[in-house]
Amino acid sequence: MFEIVGETSGEVSGAKRFKLPGVTIKFKCPNCGHDFEQELNGHHYLDYPQMNKAFQYGTGCPECEHEWQIPLILKVSLEEADGIPDSS
């Protein structure tokens, strides 16, 4: 038996460049309408993100160089799993 208590808060520990492989943000430039994507797996990342607290993510259009910010929230939680799938 076990119990998990508390909620994450504050900065992700040691996450100067926090990457989220598999996650892509798709943008439409509010200035020129250009569509582009940013994969958060290397060149793009979250800079010292706060957990479970909204923050601003800055981006820029590769076509017209317009820059703007979007609000994001990084939800981090620890929960009991149904089990661990067999690895082979």
Judged by the rule CB under 5 A, the positions of this chain that interact with Zn ion are: 29, 31-32, 34, 61, 63-64, 66
Cα–Cα distances (Å) from 7 to 4, 35, 79, in that order, read: 9, 36, 11
* Cβ–Cβ under 8 Å, residues 46 and 74: yes
Residue 67: CB minimum distance to Zn ion, A: 10
Residue 63: CB minimum distance to Zn ion, A: 5
User: For the stretch 12-34, what's the b/e string if a residue is b when 16 or more beta carbons lie within 10 angstroms of its beta carbon?
Assistant: eeebeeeeeeeeeeebebeeeee
Residue 42: CB minimum distance to Zn ion, A: 23
Residue 46 or 61: which CB sits closer to Zn ion? 61
Residue 22 or 30: which CB sits closer to Zn ion? 30
Q: Which residue type sits at 69?
A: Q
Residue 31 or 69: which CB sits closer to Zn ion? 31
